[in-house]
Structure 1
Amino acid sequence: MTQTPPTVADLLAHPVRFGLTLLAGPGAGRPIEKVTAVSTLPGVVHAAEGSLVVILEPPGSALTGYEADVAIRHAADRGLVALVLTGPVRLPVTSQHLAKRAQVPVLGSETAQDGAELLLRIDRYARGGASDALARAAAAIEAAQNAADAASDDPVAAVLAAAGDALGCTVDLLEYAPTAPNSPGAVVIGDQAVAEVVAGTHDEAAHVALPAVAAVVSRVRQNELNRRFAATMTRAELIVQIALAERAQLPQLSAQAQRAGLPVQQTHVVAWVRVEAAEGAPAGLFQQRQLLAALELAALQALDGRPGMWHVASFSGDLIVVFTDPVAGAHLYGRVRQEMQALLATLAERGDALVTVGMGTPQAGPDGIRQSAAEARVAADSAAVRGRRGTIADTDASGLRRILADLYSSPLSRGLLAELLAPLDALGPERSWIGVVTLSAFLDSQGSPTKTGRALHLHANAVSYRLRWITEALDADLDDPDVRFALQMACRVRLLGA
């Protein structure tokens, strides 16, 4: 397809790329058929018709009206498209009037430019094609990088504006994850595409520049998030350590938390967020990691600015949300639950995750973080086991889950209960897991193979077969109430830890 030759108006529309302003004459003019250069103003007399003439040696501030008038008259007589002065100059008033009458545009530069370089840029632009596309793309990338490095209240907007000026089109940021995460304009934070840079034109220059501009925006966004959430994320890492630590480690971790600005002696409410890929979504390890990172960022942004101190951390494929408040009270639980309900709705809108939230009760001090986290985890796991995924599960009023949580948080209790299941562990990881799951379901079903089979999607005969080798391995009498109770607690704590 034949490209329409540009005009003076097109040059003026790219101030970042050419740095030209209109000194006198019309701002449009005829199409530029040729770009040529002369060393001085009098050399204009030798330029061919239809040319835009670049004066390589910029005149000084003492430009005389006579020189300018003669050059403009020659330009009009020879049918030149425009004259370009390569330095900042004040055109005499008489020359301005003459250029207007002769319909000869006179362009000047706001700053002194290399005449040869300016000539090359204009010539590439006038010729079009691959060389112009590459030049515009290079100019857009350089402008975006410079805008990112400059101090600005809104660096992303500055990057987009600079790139758009260089490309000659609008460049916008669409605040959604692109359908194709590997699209040229994808803005990636960590491993997750969160937005997309798009250009208002589909020419080659935009196609070449978009990936680099998107990379600059990604870097700016990542830096903004690092500055915004660095302290919060550091404290969140300590919260995870406190939630999983032995009691003997709490004094040291509490001291670190205090130095990091986390008031561990206050009251905490923990919500445990189980994250699963939505039905039909990719469920590989890499995709799961990407999903968890995206949800962690979404949760941080959703809770940022909410009243109180909020922290979000990831652990073993799940998220831990902690609210800290100096005032203890029953209202804390309801307040946090309300915020988690809103967060659950926000995360569900994404459509790529199934999120189940377990709520812990308000607890004070570093040991309270451990207790509330254990309660929240038990509640989330219980909801998942009972088929209540995608909901908020409260800590039960009976206190059983809290008892399980306390047992799980105690190394001594875990050790004693693990001894009961040691014979199954001796059979190997896979057989041990089958045994624990089957025994737990059997005891929860009050010793009914039929109900156990329905829970595990097995035939009752298969359940009976499993129970024979399980009881033989454990050498346990399941008719003894104490034995049943101890094994049921051991199985539940084992499944909780899993």
Structure 2
Amino acid sequence: MSSLHSILDMVRAGVHGAAELVEGSDEIEVSEVRIIDQFDQLSDAGPGSLVVLDRDLSHVAETYRFDIALRRIGGQGAVGVAVFLPPDARFSLTARVLARKAGLVLVRFDPGTDITQLLQGIARQIADKLHITVERARRACEAIGRVDTRKSSVADIVQLGSMLLGREVVLGTADDARHMDRLAVPARVTAHDGQWLITERMNDADADALVEMVLWRLAAEASRCAVEQESLERYTRRTAGEVLLQLIEADRATRVSLAPTARRVGIPIDASHVIVRIEFDNLLDLSTDDEVAAYQNRERMTNVALEAAPRNMGVWHAAHDPSMLVLLCSDEHAPALDSGLDAQRSIGRIVDQLVATTPGLRIYCGVGSARATLAGLVTSATEARLATSSARSRRRVNQPVSFDAIGLRTTLVEWYSSSSVRESIDALFAPLNVMTDTKRQQLLETLTTYLDFQSSTTQTAEALHIHRNAVRYRIRRAFELLNLDEGDPEQRLFLHLACRARQPS
């Protein structure tokens, strides 16, 4: 049994000739086809049959004898009559009314139609409800090849396959594909552990082979679509990442000029933002000092971080440079990560995933608080940097530290952002410029850790893995060079804040 729609579709698309539904619905089911060349053969038309008048008999379609034929076959349960007539020939009004009342279809085939091929094609359709033929499979493959993958998704391609095959094709798992009563091929031909294109078997070896051929053609196109979409996503993400880094590092005037570009690449700058800063402590070592390998590892970890990011909390963007990975979470309606502690827990899962996929990795992670608009994005980035500095000074390896959790306030960030304060900090540390970069960084790290541990020489030595005498020497040397009184609480506070501001990334 097959639908009249599929039969007409086969005729129109193949080499059998033109077909026109003149009266009735093409949704009816046809169980058999009866071609007759004499009227006394009408009695052979049983329920569900489509009666086809041969070329010689079709001329009666414009006479009263055709009306009689319609009355007879309508009483026998047939579904309709097909005749061979030229396009300018017409069924009589009476015939059309009779067909309508009896629920019969009237079909016109072109007189040049090859009757033998027509009947063979219809017979195949009826013998197999899914009407899989070599011709149909060929047409399906050709149609799939014309898909514009730039404008189509994998789901669109699967839907097209269902339509072309006349049967449901779905995306499923490898476990779904193992059922014996199903035909399945990997949706991405190189990824057998991913999704599969699946449809039911037809219990006919030839038909199953044709269906599988079409499924492989679908898989090839779905693979191409997936590759092109991934390439576009990588390009968009890389572009957005570059813009994100520029926004964070630029001055106010430059940030304003970058705003239109940020919007074009999908960064909703008017939304509420949270910045996550992840600094790599030993990535280059894990990459065996190979900068190309290190770059590939950063790309991979960017993918891991984005996949692990909680989707219900906003839109995520990522950027990386040789020293760090920056994540941006934006929500246009309300702060997604609306408190530092909540953010820390959410980001903790990302950090855990990064560490799990890169054995031996050591990172320091800081999380800014939720801030609105472009200015807020930059503020959150500053907070994330400070939180990361806190993580370093406290040796909080592979643990996110939130800005809110360490008790820093917005006023402190504003203090850091002041040009006059930066000048004061530069002036404070100017005496250290006589030292080499390594010695100066070593001295600042020791001084910051010492102040973080409330002047505990023992804890500082343990944190930095050096002898207590080395700590004492560096601290004494620092206060002498900076010409500060360690016992003065105001000088000590300013020094502590200045050390945080100058903490190396």
Q: With structure 2 as the length reference, what TM-score do the two structures score?
A: 0.51
2:278 partner SS: strand
1:379 partner SS: helix
Deviations 1:103-127 (A, max 9, x none): xxxxxxx9xxxxxxxxxxxxxxxxx
Q: Which one of 311, 314, 320 corresponds to residue 317 of structure 2?
A: 311
* Structure ID, larger Rg: 2
Give, in angstroms, the shift of residue 330 of structure 1.
7.5
Distance 1:270 1:291 in 2: 21
Q: Which one of 205, 227, 233 corresponds to residue 228 of structure 1?
A: 233
Give, in angstroms, the shift of residue 393 of structure 1.
1.9
Question: 2:355 maps to which residue?
Answer: 348
Matched, 1:252 2:260: no
Give, in angstroms, the shift of residue 466 of structure 1.
2.4
Matched, 1:426 2:429: no
Inter-CA distance 281–413: structure 2 relative to 1 (3 Å threshold): same
Decide whether the 8 Å contact of 2:344 with 2:401 is kept in 1. Answer: no
Question: 1:163 maps to which residue?
Answer: none
Give, in angstroms, the shift of residue 366 of structure 1.
0.8
Decide whether the 8 Å contact of 1:275 with 1:292 is kept in 2. Answer: no
Inter-CA distance 308–348: structure 2 relative to 1 (3 Å threshold): same
Matched, 1:391 2:396: no
Decide whether the 8 Å contact of 1:234 with 1:260 is kept in 2. Answer: yes
Give, in angstroms, the shift of residue 362 of structure 1.
0.8
Distance 2:464 2:242 in 1: 37
**Match for 1:478: what amino acid?**
E
Decide whether the 8 Å contact of 1:395 with 1:402 is kept in 2. Answer: no
Unaligned runs of 5+ in 2: 1-133, 135-144, 159-188, 195-221
Unaligned runs of 5+ in 1: 1-109, 111-146, 158-170, 177-216
1:270 partner SS: strand
**Match for 2:422: what amino acid?**
R
Decide whether the 8 Å contact of 2:366 with 2:400 is kept in 1. Answer: yes
**Match for 1:461: what amino acid?**
N
Q: How does 1:24-423 map to 2 (within 5 A)?
A: 172-173=190-191, 223-277=228-282, 281-286=286-291, 287-303=293-309, 308-329=314-335, 332-333=338-339, 339-352=346-359, 353-397=361-405, 399-400=407-408, 402=410, 405-423=413-431
Question: 1:213 maps to which residue?
Answer: none
Distance 1:335 1:318 in 2: 22
Give, in angstroms, the shift of residue 372 of structure 1.
0.8
Distance 2:234 2:329 in 1: 16
Question: 2:474 maps to which residue?
Answer: 466
1:476 partner SS: coil
Give, in angstroms, the shift of residue 453 of structure 1.
2.7
The count of aligned residue pairs is 304
Inter-CA distance 221–459: structure 2 relative to 1 (3 Å threshold): same
Question: 2:489 maps to which residue?
Answer: 481
Distance 2:255 2:352 in 1: 35
Distance 1:218 1:435 in 2: 55
Give, in angstroms, the shift of residue 368 of structure 1.
0.5
**Match for 1:469: what amino acid?**
R
1:388 partner SS: coil
**Match for 1:233: what amino acid?**
R
Decide whether the 8 Å contact of 2:387 with 2:401 is kept in 1. Answer: yes
Distance 1:335 1:398 in 2: 14
Distance 2:192 2:492 in 1: 59
Deviations 1:331-368 (A, max 9, x none): 64477556534433432331433444322111011110
Question: 2:47 maps to which residue?
Answer: none
Distance 1:270 1:330 in 2: 11
**Match for 2:462: what amino acid?**
R
Distance 1:472 1:344 in 2: 41
Inter-CA distance 223–454: structure 2 relative to 1 (3 Å threshold): same
Give, in angstroms, the shift of residue 423 of structure 1.
0.4
2:502 partner SS: helix
Decide whether the 8 Å contact of 2:273 with 2:371 is kept in 1. Answer: yes
Matched, 1:445 2:453: yes
Decide whether the 8 Å contact of 1:407 with 1:493 is kept in 2. Answer: no
Question: 2:30 maps to which residue?
Answer: none
Inter-CA distance 232–456: structure 2 relative to 1 (3 Å threshold): closer
Q: Give RMSD over aligned pairs.
A: 4.1
2:357 partner SS: coil
Question: 1:122 maps to which residue?
Answer: none
Distance 2:241 2:283 in 1: 26
Distance 2:321 2:267 in 1: 19
Distance 2:335 2:310 in 1: 23
Decide whether the 8 Å contact of 2:274 with 2:371 is kept in 1. Answer: yes
Distance 1:280 1:391 in 2: 20
